[in-house]
Amino acid sequence: MSQSLPVLLTLDSWVQQHITTLYSAKTADDFNTAFDAFISNNVTIKVNGKSMTRDQYKTLIMGEIKNDDGANVAFNGTVAVLDNTESFRPTFTGTAGVFFKATVLGRIFTLGQRQTSTVTSSLNVVVTTDSSVEEFDNRRVSSLDEVLTDVENPITFPPPPNQSSKSS
């Protein structure tokens, strides 16, 4: 019986999968696992033009989805440029840019309507192999530059039912 090797995702698919997993995490443990599988411990981060630490970024993203019930993530565009200078897996690392919207589903309902928010992001990442990670796929984001907004969506209620006027 032959054993098949795991298949590595392409760079753009890898980035999309990790973003989706991160925003869809329903527990703190799931979020931490997804974050650690995506972001290197030695990452350089800028959000909305300001530098921040890995922990600050983790807190920011966790704050967008905390106490929520997952998210629906839609990618409006992805571009990836492979880095052919690395000797190890040269076709799976490089630079990727993604534009996505994540509709975060709140757990709170108001008059039958779920509270939601929308995260809109333009995210550019550099993905490299991380020698400190002892996994088959040891790719991690080593540089991240993101422009994002997080907006509460208004709750729209249906109009009241038509009341027929009584004629006298």
How confident is the model over 108-133, as a mean pLDDT?
Answer: 83
Give the separation between CA 12 and CA 79, rounded to whole angstroms.
7
Give tens-digit pLDDT for 57-107: 999 998 877 656 678 899 999 999 988 765 554 468 899 999 999 988 766
3-state secondary structure of 9: coil
Under CATH, to which class is 11-152 assigned?
alpha beta
Residue 152 phi/psi, 5-degree rounding, is -70, 135
Domain segments of the chain as ranges: 11-152
Residue type, 153: N
Give the separation between CA 143 and CA 40, rounded to whole angstroms.
9
Tokens 């090797």, residue located: 5
Q: 164: which residues sit within 8 A by CB, 6+ positions away?
A: none
In terms of average pLDDT, the best of 61-75, 80-94, 119-133, 149-163 is: 119-133
CA geometry: angle at 23 spanning 100 and 41, to 5°? 100
Tokens of 122: 């333009």
> What pLDDT, on a 0 to 100 scale, did the predictor assign at position 1?
52
> What pLDDT, on a 0 to 100 scale, did the predictor assign at position 89?
47
What stretch of H or E contains 43? strand 39-47
DSSP state of 21: H
Q: 129: which residues sit within 8 A by CB, 6+ positions away?
A: 86, 88, 89, 93, 138, 139, 140
Is there a contact between 111 and 30 (Cβ–Cβ < 8 Å)? no
Give the separation between CA 59 and CA 42, rounded to whole angstroms.
16
User: Of 38, 96, 106, 103, which is closest to residue 74 (Cα–Cα)?
Assistant: 103
Give tens-digit pLDDT for 10-66: 899 999 999 999 998 888 899 999 999 999 999 999 999 999 999 999 999 988 776
> What pLDDT, on a 0 to 100 scale, did the predictor assign at position 136?
85
Tokens 């052919």, residue located: 84
